[in-house]
Chain A
Amino acid sequence: MKAFETFETPAAARVNYINAQYGLKSWLLTKDHKRIALLYLGSISFFFLVGGVYAMLIRLELLTPQGDLLSSATYNKVFTQHGIIMIFFFLIPSIPATLGNFLVPMMIGAKDLAFPRINLLSWYIYLLGGIVTIYALLAGGVDTGWTFYVPYSTTFSNSYVIAAGLGIFISGFSSILTGLNFIVTIHTMRAPGMTWFRLPLFIWAHYATSLVMILGTPVVAITILLLAFERLTHVGIFDPANGGDPVLFQHLFWFYSHPAVYIMVLPSMGVVSELIANFSRKNIFGYRFVAFSSLAIAVFGFLVWGHHLFVASQSVYAGMVFSFLSFAVAIPSAIKVFNWTATLYKGSISYDTPMLYALGFIGLFTVGGMTGLFLASLAIDVHVSDTYFIVAHFHYIMVGGALFGYLGGLHYWWPKISGRMYPEGWGRFSALVIFVGFNLTFLPQFVAGYLGMPRRYHAYPPEFQVFNVLSSAGASILGFGLLIPAIYLVWSMRYGKHAEANPWHLPGLEWRTASPPPTENFLTTPIVTWEAYEFAPPEEMQVIGKMREEAVSSEQ
C-alpha cells in the first residue's frame, strides 16, 4: 500500500543517520538532533532505572507496618532521591529531549533544530547536572523531600542539600536550552507549506511545553541558588531569624514546580493526540481546540501554584482564587479528553501497542485529573493533604499520564528511530501488564490516603497494611512489565524486522522519509500540500501526488 507520497530515496544501499559515521567521537561530538535524542534516550533510561530502584526500596519497606527494612533517616533519603531523580532527570526531559528532539525537526520538514550546538550543549549540561546529583546521592544522600522546603533544607538538614540543589540547578539549564531551541525551530524552520494549522498536534504540545520550560525553569533556578547560598552563609531571605518568610520559598518553588507537571504531561498529550488520530485513521476531532488547549494549559498552569499552599498560612482569599483557577485548568484538559474520545468514534481503530498505551493514558489521566479536582477544593484538600491520596493522584498523572505517553510514543516511533520493528505480541502483552501493575500499585493508595495514611513515613498503623501489600504487589508487576520493553527494544535493534519508511501507512511528514532517516532528514526540502491527519483514499492521494510532481517539474 503506497497511500502517501514519500520524499525518500530508492532502497539502494542507503546512508542513514546511524551508519553515516562510526566511532565514539562521532556520537559524543554530534550535532545531529537524532543522535542527540539517542544520547538522551540512553541517559534518561539510566536515571529511570536508578529512580526505579529507589521506588522498589520504598515499596519493600512499606510491605510491613513496622519500619524494619530501612531506618527512618534512610527512608527519608530514599523517597527524596526517588523524587529528585524521577522528576528532574527522567520525567522532565523524557519526551521533549528524546522524542521531541528526534521528531520536532522531522515533523516540520527541517534539517535540524535551529541551534544544533546548543542542543548538544544541553545534553552535556544535563549530564553534568546528573553527575553532580549522583555525587550527592553517593556522598550521603539528601533527605529534604524533592521540594526542599525551608527552613529544614537551609538550617536543619544534615544531608547533601547543596550538591543535590546544584545538580538540579545545572540540569535546569538543559531544559531551558531545549525549550529555547524548540520555540525558535517551530517559528523559523517550518518547511514551505507547513502552516501553523498544518502542524501535527505533537508540535503544538511541544511548543506549549517549551513556553513553560523557558518561563518557569529560571525561577526555580534562582530559588535554589538563593537556598544554597542561605545554607552556606547561614543568613538569607528565607530565614525567619532575619524577618524572612519561608512561605516565599514555597511560592517561588511551586511557581515552577506546578507548571513542571505540565512539562511532563503536555508532551505526553501531544503523543496521545498523534496516536489516537493515526490509529483511528481519522482526522482529529476539533484540531484547533486540541492545539489551543495545549497553550491554555501552559498559560493557566502558571496561575495555579497556590493550591500547594492551602495548608501553608496562605490567606483564605488567595486560597479561593487559586482553587477557582485550578478548576479552570481542568477545562482545557477535559477538552482534550473529549476530543480524543470523539476522534475514536466511528474511527477504524487498530489495537497496536502504541494505541494500547494511548487508550490507557486517556483512562488513567482522567482518574488523575479528576482526583486533582478533589485536591483543588479547599476543604477536601485539608483532609487529604500530605496523605497517600496525593501520592496516588500525582502518580496517576506522572506515571499513568507522562510515562504511558512516553512508552506509547517510543513504540510508535521506534521503527523510525531504529529502523527496526519491535515484536508486536510482546509489546501488547507488556502494555497490558504495565496497565494492570500500575493500577494495582496506585488505586489502593487512594483509599489508604483517604482513610488517613500519611505520606513520607516508613512505619504506619497495621490497619493500612492490606493496601500497602496490594500496592507493593502491584509495584512488582509494574516493574516486571517495564523490564519487558527494556529487553525487547534493545533486542529489536539487532534482530528486529527491518522497518519500511512508513510502517503504519500514515500521512505525517516524519513517515515520508526513510527509516532510519538520512542525516539531513529529507534529501530535498519537502513541500507540504496536505493537512495534518489527512486520511484520504489512496487513489485520491496518488492523483494529488502526480499533480504535485507536475507542478514541481514545470517550475524547475
Chain B
Amino acid sequence: MAEGVAIKHEASQAALQHHFENMEQQREASALGMWVFLVTELMFFGGMFLAYTLYRTKFPAAFASASNHLDLTLGMVNTIVLILSSFTMALAVYSSQVGKRRNQIVCLVLTIVLGLTFLGIKAVEYYDKYEDHLIPGQLIPGRPFKPEVQEPGTPYDKHKLHLLPGATLKNVEMFFWIYFAMTGMHALHMIIGVGVLSVILFFSWRGRYGPEYHNPVEISGLYWHFVDIIWIFLFPLLYLLGRHLEHM
C-alpha cells in the first residue's frame, strides 16, 4: 500500500507518456515489448528453418551441391561485417547510457554503414545467382531456373553447378527457393533495421537520448542483435554444411 502512495506521477519528465506511472515502468514495458516481439519474429523464421531442416534431411546431396555453389568468401565477409555492426550497436547503447553523445552518434553511423555494406554485398551475391540462372521458377519473368551443370572431367568453372551423386536439379531449385526466402526475409529485416536506426540517429543528433531516457536506443539495439543472430544461424546452414562433400 505504501508503495502505491509513494509513486508520484512524474509529469515533469517530458519523455514520460501519460499512462505510465514513472520512467522505470515505461522502460520496463518497452523492453519487455521488444522481447515479446522478438519471440514472434523467432517463430516467423522458425517456419522456414523447419522447412530447411526437413528438405536438407530429405535431399542431402542436392543441398550440399547447391550450398557449395554459394560464394563462401562473400558470406564470410558479410558475417564479419554483421558481427562488427552488432559491436558498434552495443557501443551506441552504452554511450547513450553514460551520456556520451558524440560517441553515440559515431557508433550509430558506423552501425548503419556496416548494415548497408552487408546489404550491398548481399545484392552482389544475388546478382551472381541471377547471372548463373539460379533464381528459382519464374521469380524473375523471362529468366527461369536453368543453371549450367558441370560435366565430370571438364575443367572447373565457378559459374557451373557441380552436382554431387544423387542430386537432382529440381531439388537444387528447392534449395535456392529456401535460400532466397530465408536470406530475403533476413535482408528485409536488415532494411527495416537500417530505417529504424536512421530515425534513432536523427533523434540522437537532436540530443534526445541520455542517461535519463534511452530505451528507444536500447530496444532498437535488441532488434539489431536479433537480426544479426538470425544470420549467425543462416550462414553455417546455407553456406557451410556439406562443404566437405565437395571433393568426394
Contacts and interface: CB of A to CB of B under 8 A. Distances in A.
A545 interface: no
B33 A114 contact: yes
B32 A192 contact: no
B248 interface: no
B130 to A, nearest CB: 15
| Most B Cβ at <10 Å: residue of A216, A237, A520 | A237
13 contacts: A110-B19, A180-B36, A188-B32, A214-B36, A214-B43, A218-B47, A221-B44, A222-B44, A226-B181, A234-B138, A241-B170, A243-B58, A243-B168
A527 interface: yes
Contacts of A243: 55, 58-59, 168, 170-171, 174
Given A226-B48, A242-B171, A527-B1, 12 more contacts: A187-B32, A189-B19, A191-B4, A214-B36, A219-B44, A234-B137, A235-B137, A235-B173, A237-B174, A520-B19, A525-B21, A527-B5
A185 B36 CA distance: 12
Interface in B25-39: 25, 28-29, 32-33, 36-37, 39
Chain A contact patch, size range = 35 or more
A233 B136 contact: yes
Interface residues of B, number: 47
B54 A248 contact: yes
A181 B36 CA distance: 9
A327 to B, nearest CB: 26
Contacts of A248: 50-51, 54
B47 A219 contact: yes
A184 interface: yes
B143 to A, nearest CB: 12
A180 B48 contact: no
Interface string A93-137: 000000000000000001111111000000000000000000000
B244 interface: no
A193 B6 CA distance: 13
A115 B28 CA distance: 12
A222 B48 contact: yes
A527 B181 contact: no
A217 interface: yes
A254 to B, nearest CB: 12
Interface stretch (A55-63, A73-81, A407-415, A548-556): A548-556
A293 to B, nearest CB: 23
A552 to B, nearest CB: 6
Contact of B40 (A217, A226, A234, A244): A217
B145 interface: yes
B40 A180 contact: yes
Which secondary structure dominates chain A's binding surface? helix
B139 A237 contact: no
B43 A233 contact: no
Interface in B3-24: 3-5, 7, 17-21
Nearest to B25: A188
Interface string A536-556: 000000000000100110011
Interface in B188-221: none
Interface string A490-532: 0000000000000000000000000000001000010101000
B33 A233 contact: no
A222 B174 contact: no
Nearest to B41: A218
Contacts of B39: 214-215
A222 B2 CA distance: 48
Contacts of B43: 214-216, 218-219
Nearest to A216: B43
B178 interface: yes
B236 interface: no
A242 B51 CA distance: 13
Given A219-B46, A243-B174, A180 B33 contact: yes
B235 interface: no
A531 to B, nearest CB: 15
- 5 interchain residue pairs of minimum CB distance: A192-B4, A235-B137, A218-B44, A112-B19, A111-B19
A235 B40 contact: no
Contacts of A229: 181
B237 to A, nearest CB: 15
Contact of A236 (B28, B41, B50, B177): B177
Nearest to B178: A237
Contacts of A463: none
Given A234-B138, A237-B174, A241-B170, A193 B4 contact: yes
B178 A184 contact: no
A113 B136 CA distance: 45
Interface string A226-250: 1001000111110001111100100
A235 B19 contact: no
Interface in B48-76: 48, 50-51, 54-55, 58-59
Nearest to B37: A180
B40 A218 contact: yes
A217 B54 CA distance: 21
A520 B51 CA distance: 47
A64 interface: no
A380 to B, nearest CB: 30
A223 interface: yes
A252 interface: yes
Given A235-B138, A244-B174, A527 B36 contact: no
B33 A115 contact: yes
Interface in A137-190: 176, 180-181, 183-185, 187-189
Contacts of B55: 237, 243-244
Contacts of A218: 40-41, 43-44, 46-47
